[in-house]
């Protein structure tokens, strides 16, 4: 179940996105260890002003998972989505989620949309890092 908060890419996902050219404005960043960043530890998300922070060697933009997936679709031409598989079991509605990349369905099931979306982002990043081939 969702906690009502925006789901941001993890530090590792954000670094992978930066390496792939992610350049959209975000208002959350990760510091990567600049000596004068003060007491802010590396890899802890920080609220900041809207900008493309990936132009700074010591910062990584932290997009929401949804924005990262939108960028993958719009810029990298990767068609990917989360799907639900609803069913009724003994009178109780249960919804399982899975994801699909370019029409290839993942066989794993996830209990929440957010879990499936995070796994989808990892899978899409893996595809892009291999040159876009499944």
Q: Which one has a higher pLDDT value, 64 or 84?
A: 64
- Region 15-24: mean pLDDT is 96
pLDDT in tens, 87-105: 555 555 556 777 888 878 8
Is 85 or 50 the better-scoring residue by pLDDT? 50
Cα angle 113-116-121, degrees, rounded to a multiple of 5 = 125
Q: What is the pLDDT of residues 110-121, one digit of tens each?
A: 888 899 899 999
d(CA 134, CA 126): 9
What pLDDT score was predicted for residue 1?
A: 41
Q: What's residue 13's pLDDT?
A: 96
What pTM was estimated for this model as a whole?
Answer: 0.83
pLDDT tens by residue, 28-79: 988 887 655 555 667 778 888 888 888 888 889 999 999 999 999 999 998 8
Listing DSSP states for the chain in one string gives: ---SS--BPPHHHHHHHHHTT----EEEEEE---TTSTTPPTT-EEEEEEE-GGGSTTEEE--BHHHHHHHHHHTT---EEEEEEEEEETTEEEEEEEEEETTEE-S--BSSHHHHHHHHHHHHHHHHHTTS--
Average pLDDT over residues 17-32: 93
> Which residues are within 8 A (CB) of 70 and not within 5 positions of it... i.e. 6 or more apart?
none
Domain ranges of the chain: 11-129
Residue with the two structure tokens 């989808």: 120
Judge whether residue 126 has pLDDT over 50: yes
């Amino acid at each position: 179940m969702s906690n009502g908060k925006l789901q941001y890419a993890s530090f590792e996902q954000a670094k992978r996105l930066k390496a792939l050219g992610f350049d959209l404005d975000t208002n959350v960043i990760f510091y990567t260890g600049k000596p004068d960043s003060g007491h802010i530890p590396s890899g802890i998300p920080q609220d900041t002003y809207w900008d493309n922070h990936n132009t700074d060697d010591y910062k990584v933009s932290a997009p929401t998972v949804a924005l990262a997936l939108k960028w993958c679709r719009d810029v990298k031409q990767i068609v990917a989505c989360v799907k639900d598989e609803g069913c009724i079991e003994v009178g109780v509605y249960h919804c399982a989620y899975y994801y699909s990349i370019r029409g290839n369905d993942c066989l794993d099931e996830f209990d929440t949309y957010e879990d499936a979306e995070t796994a989808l982002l990892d899978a899409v990043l893996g595809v892009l890092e291999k040159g876009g081939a499944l």
